[in-house]
Amino acid sequence: MEETLKIGKFEFKSRLFIGTGKYESFDIMKKAHEASGAEVVTVAVRRVDLNDKGKESMWNYIDQNIKILPNTAACFTAEEAVRTAKLARAAGLPDWVKLEVIGDKKTLMPDNEETLKATKELVDEGFTVLAYTNDDIVSCQKLEKAGASAVMPLGAPIGSGQGILNPNNIKIILENANVPIIVDAGVGTASDVTIAMELGADGVLLNTGVALAKDPIRMARAMKAATESGRDAFLAGRIPKKLYASASSPIDGIIK
C-alpha cells in the first residue's frame, strides 16, 4: 500500500518540499522541480518591482499540479508574518503557510516567541500552519499545542548547507511529536536528506542545496532518491549498532 503524508487537510505522496528561490533561470528551476518529484514548492511574498515590469512570469514555469506553499521569509514579528500569510491567501494561494519568523539577521535563527504568537493567530484565522523553528523539543511541542499542522525544525541555519547538525535533537522531537515533522533548512547534499529521513522525519524542505548546486537538475534527482531511500530505510528498521563484528557467513561447516 502506498503511504501518504498528511498535513492538515492536504495529502501528498512525495515527502520532498522544494523552493523556487536562487535558481539561475526559471527553465532550470522547472526542470529541477520535475526531477525532484516534489508536489509542493515554496514561494515568497514581495512587493511588485515597479521599475522592472518586463520580467518574465515565474508562473509559466511552475507545473499546474504543484501546490504552492507561501512562506513568511524576512518577517521579524508575528504581526508581519500574519499580514504576509493573509496577502498570500488573497493572491489566490491555498490557506496554508510556511511560517517563518526570524529573530536574527545574520544567523536567520527563528524567534520562537513571535512564531508561537503568529501560529495561534493564523490557526484562529483558519490557516494550516507549517511552523519553522529550532531543533529543540520544547519549541516544537509548544507549536504543536498551538495548533500547527506540521512543525519544521531546522537541520542547520538557512542556506548554510551544513546538514543535520544535531540528529539526536531531531530524533527526540520525532519520538514525541503528534504532527508531521518536516526538517527544514540547512540541507547541503543528498546524504543530509537521507539522514533526516532515516531518523524518521516525515519530510524534508530544501531550496539552496538544489538551486545553487553546480547541476541543480541532477541534484534535485539525487534529493528525490535520498528522500525515498531514507524513508524506506526508516520503515525497514535498521539493525542496532554493535561494538564487535558479527560474521555474516555460518560458523558451522568450516573446512579444516
Partner 1 sequence: MKLTINGLRQEIRSSNIIDLLDELDLKKEKMVIEINKKIIEKEKFNETNIKENDSIEIITLVGGG
Nearest in space to 164 (alpha carbons), one of 202, 115, 113, 198: 198
Residue 211's contacts (CB-CB under 8 Å, 6 or more residues apart) are 19, 21, 22, 23, 29, 32
Q: Is 98 a catalytic residue?
A: yes
Q: How far is the CB of 100 from partner 1 (least distance, A)?
A: 9
CB-count exposure of residue 18 (10 Å: 0-12, 13-18, 19+): buried
Alpha-carbon dihedral sign for residues 131, 232, 162, 168? positive
Q: Which residue of 83, 94, 189, 229 would you call a contact of partner 1, by CB under 8 A? A: 83
- Half-sphere exposure of residue 4, counting CA atoms within 13 Å on the CB side? 9
Nearest CB to partner 1, comparing residues 55 and 256:
55
β-strands 203-206, 16-18 pairing: parallel
| Segment near partner 1 (CB under 8 A); pick from 32-40, 46-54, 192-200, 239-247 | 46-54
- 41/146 with CB nearer partner 1: 41
Dihedral sign computed on CA atoms, order 37, 38, 39, 42? negative
Does residue 9 belong to the site contacting partner 1 (CB under 8 A)? no
Site for partner 1 in 93-132 (CB under 8 A): 93
Write down the least CB distance from residue 141 to partner 1, Å.
25
Closest approach of Cβ 60 to partner 1, in Å?
10
Binding to partner 1 in span 130-169, by CB under 8 A: 158-159
Marked catalytic residue, from 30, 98, 120, 224: 98
Phi-psi region of 199 (alpha: psi -120 to 50; beta: other; left: phi over 0): alpha
Question: Taking the CA atoms of the chain, what radius of gyration do you get in angstroms?
Answer: 20
* Rounded Cα–Cα distance for residues 240 and 251 (Å): 21
By CB under 8 A, the count of residues binding partner 1 is: 37
Interaction between residue 25 and partner 1 (CB under 8 A): no
Q: Out of 16, 45, 116, 179, name the contact with partner 1 by CB under 8 A.
A: 45
Minimum CB–partner distance for residue 115 and partner 1 (Å): 17
Q: What residues make contact with partner 1 under the rule CB under 8 A? A: 19-23, 29, 42-48, 50, 53, 57-59, 68, 70-71, 73, 83, 86-88, 90-93, 158-159, 205-208, 211
Active site residues: 98
